[in-house]
């Protein structure tokens, strides 16, 4: 059965037509009788690849394997996965495979099935992109982001229209789809820029946040201009009356989404218990609304790709509804359907159209390139005028011109719909591939957020005077971290003469939204949106500050970001607040009986990242089997009524041990704290790895300890690690807190034989030993690493 479909496009002022003849077989063959049956019957007309089901499965496998092979080769060059998917489609295109019985059969019915699956993934991707976007952030964007987002769309659009007008003076700017195409050339895609920043791991950086804010503004401007260009096109082709009808129906569609569907979804969220999961029925209703949105957009004369996207914008972002949609749908969409769609876009690419392109296509290609260059210049000049560093300005300019799956998908759908011709699609595909390949490499070369952590100023406890305020950061992941930190500071018996400025950073996993958040909680401003993330944390530390008035000042912050990028928030806060010491919770927690309560490997990875990058000293707090001073955190008098708290410092020498001792000396200023310094010395000095400078610094620091009458100094000579372990096992029950240096990659006679048993490298040999199941006690551990001096 044959079906012919013809449409027209314009070249200059002339109108030409192209027609395509499509042959389909009815009824369609979907499920094969089985490979064994086909082989037994040996019917030449019965081929396995004639059935759409097995053929689709084979095509998906071939696409996945080929994409991974290409990506393994190109990943070393810094090229994104998107390029590998496009190249896989080009390699599977009719240029190489034309046998209709091959695994990658490119017949019309074969491509239609594969394309339908991919197109479904693209529409789902647009819906989820809308879910992740938070339009309220546009009101909070700074002037710099607004200027960049607005000017990088409008100015290139003007230059593009001017260029095309000069190339074709007798043409009409709004005919031949020139204005609509110019908007697509100059537009900014928020999902593409978000994907780029995530892949480069700079989403949380200062540049990443500025790029996201500018992209959000630019995407909204692009959406408005695209809709306006479609209305203008309708007005020219069909008259003002039809254009006004489109405007009215589009506004009605937006009103229904905003004032009917969004309140319904907010009602679903309100009915969900706090910290609970959305009901399955509510989840399915939203998915059903999404599946119906393309049909509704047709009724309201809205471009069908805008319907799912606008519906996604109406979904309340974040937990419980937005996060549920993203967590359940994003893995299969991003991992399966979207790669298939990218590959089918590559299948459409035919370089023969590049040679035989029309004059109109050449003009459009020149306009697209000019637009790209002007967009880059505008993105560069605005940050430079705002006195941004030159390298950062260039990096931002490349970020703003990035192209990706959204542009590729839009041109592919316009090509299928005969909105653009094959030669224009070929030109745009080449532009997208070049830009998407070059931009990640250049941004990575130009911008390295870790450079700002190269702190030449020493920010350690050793370099902080005892009578000066000590600036600390404490990180919180779960409620038990709050009680552990408060108990730790209560144990130190805070005094006015040695005050502490404590910044508490509540780290929340980014879920159901694309833009990271960094919230500074002000006690005077009781704003519900901010408190919803960290209300209990804020209340607990407000009470702690009141209980220790004039000895502690507390500021609470919340960082909502991806777990693998949380180190950016911590390090940035440490740089901004001139912090000397960061306290990180250990990734494992125990019950009172010593069994493991919970373990989070993402926290462990975060701790490793901070240990490598932090611009100051670090401490990892290992919670004890029992709290330092009882389980009731809310009873501030419990810390003041106890007669004494026994704290021990394990000292073997080196900068980490000196930092641990400096922290202990600061804690021991109160008479209620009993500090014991246990100095392990090697019975045989042979094999000691301390330098002469380390020995001198150790001796200078220990001399004050030995002369002090308020401290207990114990010197213990040991032969090897097992002897050290036996001694520690005999005394740990006498202390509530034990402070040790990390001493990473430092093994000396005192710890010989223990390295191979070390499970957690981030807390060092002694820290790992004291946290093992062999040591049973009420103590907590604080493992200290002094600020690492790094070079460029």
- Give the tokens for residue 431: 């532009």
pLDDT in tens, 33-70: 555 555 455 554 556 556 767 778 888 888 899 999 99
**What confidence category does residue 102 fall into, taking pLDDT thresholds of 50, 70 and 90?**
very low
- Nearest-5° Cα angle at 470, 465 to 474: 150
**In sequence order, which ranges of 622-755 are alpha helices (DSSP H)?**
638-641, 655-667, 692-707, 721-731
Matching residue, tokens 């049973």: 776
- Examine the domain organization and report whether 650 and 563 are in the same domain: yes
Give the Cα separation of 490 and 480 in Å (integer). 15
pLDDT in tens, 658-675: 899 988 888 777 777 888
For 718, counting Cβ atoms within 10 Å of its Cβ (0-12 exposed, 13-18 middle, 19+ buried), the class is buried
CB atoms within 10 A of CB 685: 10
For 323, counting Cβ atoms within 10 Å of its Cβ (0-12 exposed, 13-18 middle, 19+ buried), the class is buried
Give the Cα separation of 682 and 748 in Å (integer). 8
- Examine the domain organization and report whether 360 and 492 are in the same domain: no
Does pLDDT of 525 surpass 70?
no
Domain CATH for 370: 1.20.1530.20
Output the pLDDT for position 32: 59
Matching residue, tokens 């009993």: 674
In a domain, 2, yes or no: no
Output the pLDDT for position 29: 65
Q: Which of 291-295, 372-376, 632-636 ranks highest by mean pLDDT?
A: 372-376
Count how many Cα atoms sit within 13 Å of the Cα of residue 696 in the half-sphere of its side chain: 3
**What confidence category does residue 15 fall into, taking pLDDT thresholds of 50, 70 and 90?**
very low
Give the Cα separation of 292 and 448 in Å (integer). 44
Examine the fold and report which residue of 447, 477, 512 is the final residue of a domain before the chain moves on.
447
Does 39 or 167 have the greater pLDDT score? Answer: 167
Query: How many domains, the chain?
Result: 2
In a domain, 595, yes or no: yes
Q: Structural domain of residue 118, as residue ranges?
A: 92-447
Does pLDDT of 323 surpass 70?
yes
- Give the tokens for residue 663: 């922290």
Give the Cα separation of 181 and 194 in Å (integer). 23
Any idea which of 15-24, 309-318, 695-704 has the lowest mean pLDDT?
15-24
Examine the fold and report which residue of 414, 447, 480 is the final residue of a domain before the chain moves on.
447
Does pLDDT of 456 surpass 60?
no
Q: Are 185 and 374 in contact (CB under 8 A)?
A: no
- Examine the domain organization and report whether 251 and 351 are in the same domain: yes
Give the Cα separation of 261 and 353 in Å (integer). 45
Does pLDDT of 640 surpass 50?
no
- Examine the domain organization and report whether 416 and 485 are in the same domain: no
In a domain, 196, yes or no: yes
In a domain, 436, yes or no: yes
Does pLDDT of 14 surpass 60?
no
Does 267 or 175 have the greater pLDDT score? Answer: 267
**What confidence category does residue 583 fall into, taking pLDDT thresholds of 50, 70 and 90?**
very high
- The residue-averaged pLDDT of 269-296 equals 85
Q: Are 689 and 748 in contact (CB under 8 A)?
A: yes
- Examine the domain organization and report whether 261 and 384 are in the same domain: yes
Does pLDDT of 120 surpass 80?
yes
Output the pLDDT for position 372: 94
Q: Positive or negative CA dihedral for 124, 125, 126, 129?
A: positive
Output the pLDDT for position 599: 84
- Nearest-5° Cα angle at 762, 516 to 608: 25
- Examine the domain organization and report whether 668 and 690 are in the same domain: yes
- Examine the domain organization and report whether 425 and 478 are in the same domain: no
- Examine the domain organization and report whether 210 and 135 are in the same domain: yes
218 cis-preceded (ω within 30 degrees of 0): no
Q: Are 251 and 310 in contact (CB under 8 A)?
A: no
Q: Are 106 and 350 in contact (CB under 8 A)?
A: no
In a domain, 34, yes or no: no
Output the pLDDT for position 171: 57
Any idea which of 12-26, 551-565, 642-656 has the lowest mean pLDDT?
12-26
Output the pLDDT for position 9: 36
Strand-pairing partners, residue 738, are 648, 781
- Examine the domain organization and report whether 433 and 491 are in the same domain: no
Distances in whole angstroms, Cα of residue 237 to Cα of each of 88, 232, 234, 298, 442: 39, 9, 5, 19, 43
- The residue-averaged pLDDT of 336-364 equals 85
Examine the fold and report which residue of 419, 447, 475 is the final residue of a domain before the chain moves on.
447
Output the pLDDT for position 10: 39
Output the pLDDT for position 11: 38
Task: Name which of 372, 365, 381 is nearest 402 in CA terms.
Answer: 372
Phi and psi (nearest 5°) for 585?
A: -75, 145
Matching residue, tokens 């150790």: 698
């Amino acid at each position: 059965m044959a079906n012919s479909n013809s449409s027209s496009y314009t070249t200059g002022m002339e109108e030409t037509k192209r027609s395509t003849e499509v042959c389909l077989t009815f009824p369609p063959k979907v499920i094969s009788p089985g490979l064994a049956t086909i082989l037994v019957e040996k019917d030449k007309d019965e081929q396995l690849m004639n059935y759409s089901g097995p053929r689709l499965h084979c095509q998906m496998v071939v696409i996945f394997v080929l994409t991974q092979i290409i990506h393994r080769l190109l990943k070393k060059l810094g090229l994104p996965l998107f390029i590998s998917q496009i190249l896989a489609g080009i390699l599977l295109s009719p240029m190489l495979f034309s046998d209709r019985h091959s695994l990658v059969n490119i017949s019309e019915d074969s491509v239609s099935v594969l394309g339908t699956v991919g197109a479904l993934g693209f529409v789902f991707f647009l819906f989820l992109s809308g879910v992740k976007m938070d339009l309220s952030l546009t009101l909070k964007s700074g002037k710099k982001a607004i200027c960049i987002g607005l000017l990088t769309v409008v100015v290139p659009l003007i230059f593009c229209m001017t260029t095309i007008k000069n190339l074709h003076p007798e043409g009409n700017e709004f005919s031949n789809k020139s204005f609509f195409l110019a908007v697509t050339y100059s537009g900014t895609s928020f999902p593409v820029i978000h994907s780029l920043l995530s892949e480069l791991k700079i989403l949380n950086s200062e540049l990443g946040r500025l790029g996201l804010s500018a992209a959000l503004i630019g995407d909204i401007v692009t959406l408005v201009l695209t809709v306006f260009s479609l209305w203008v096109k309708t007005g020219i082709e069909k008259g003002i009356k039809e254009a006004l009808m489109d405007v009215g129906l589009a506004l009605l569609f937006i009103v229904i989404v905003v004032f009917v569907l969004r309140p319904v979804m907010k009602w679903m969220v309100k009915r969900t218990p706090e910290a609970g999961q959305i009901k399955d029925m509510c989840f399915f209703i939203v998915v059903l609304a999404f599946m119906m949105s393309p049909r509704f957009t047709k009724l309201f004369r809205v471009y069908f790709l805008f319907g799912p996207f606008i519906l996604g914008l109406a979904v309340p972002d974040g937990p419980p509804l937005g996060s549920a949609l993203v967590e359940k749908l994003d893995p299969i969409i991003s991992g399966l359907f979207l790669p298939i769609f990218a590959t089918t876009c590559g299948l459409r690419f035919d370089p023969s159209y590049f040679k035989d392109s029309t004059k109109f296509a050449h003009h459009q290609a020149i306009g697209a390139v000019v637009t790209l260059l002007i967009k880059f210049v505008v993105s560069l000049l605005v940050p430079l005028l705002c006195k941004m560093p030159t390298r950062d300005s260039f990096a931002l300019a490349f970020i703003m011109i990035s192209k990706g799956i959204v542009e590729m998908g839009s041109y592919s759908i316009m090509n299928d719909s005969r909105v653009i011709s094959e030669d224009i699609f070929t030109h745009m595909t080449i532009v997208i591939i070049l830009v998407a390949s070059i931009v990640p490499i250049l941004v990575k070369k130009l911008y390295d957020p870790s450079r700002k952590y190269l702190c030449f100023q020493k920010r350690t406890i050793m370099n902080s005077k005892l009578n000066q305020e000590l600036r600390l950061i404490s990180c919180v992941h779960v409620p038990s971290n709050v009680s552990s930190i408060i108990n730790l500071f209560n144990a130190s018996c805070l005094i006015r003469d040695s005050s502490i400025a404590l910044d508490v950073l509540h780290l929340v996993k980014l879920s159901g939204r694309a833009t990271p958040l960094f919230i500074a909680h002000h006690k005077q401003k009781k704003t519900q949106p901010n408190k919803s993330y960290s209300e209990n944390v804020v209340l607990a530390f407000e009470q702690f500050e009141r209980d220790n008035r004039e000895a502690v000042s507390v500021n609470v912050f919340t960082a909502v970001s991806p777990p693998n990028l949380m180190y950016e928030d911590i390090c940035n806060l440490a740089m901004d607040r001139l912090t000397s010491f960061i306290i990180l919770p250990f990734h494992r927690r125990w019950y009172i009986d010593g069994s493991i309560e919970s373990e989070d490997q993402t926290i462990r990875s975060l701790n490793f990242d901070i240990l490598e990058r932090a611009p100051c000293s670090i401490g990892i707090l290992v919670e004890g089997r029992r709290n330092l001073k009882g389980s009731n955190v809310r009873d501030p008098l419990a810390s003041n009524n106890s007669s004494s708290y026994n704290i021990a410092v394990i000292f073997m020498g080196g900068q980490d041990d000196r930092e641990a001792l400096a922290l202990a000396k600061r804690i021991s200023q109160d008479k209620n704290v009993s500090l014991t310094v246990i100095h392990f010395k090697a019975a045989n000095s042979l094999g000691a790895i301390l330098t002469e400078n380390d020995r001198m610094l150790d001796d200078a620091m220990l001399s004050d300890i030995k002369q002090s009458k308020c401290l207990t100094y114990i010197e213990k000579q040991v032969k090897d690690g097992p002897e050290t372990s036996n001694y520690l096992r005999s005394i740990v029950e006498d202390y509530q807190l034990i402070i040790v240096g990390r001493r990473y990659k430092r093994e000396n006679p005192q710890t010989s034989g223990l390295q191979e048993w070390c499970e957690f490298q981030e807390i060092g040999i002694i820290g790992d030993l004291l946290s093992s199941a062999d040591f049973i006690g009420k103590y907590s551990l604080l493992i200290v690493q002094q600020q690492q001096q790094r070079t460029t």
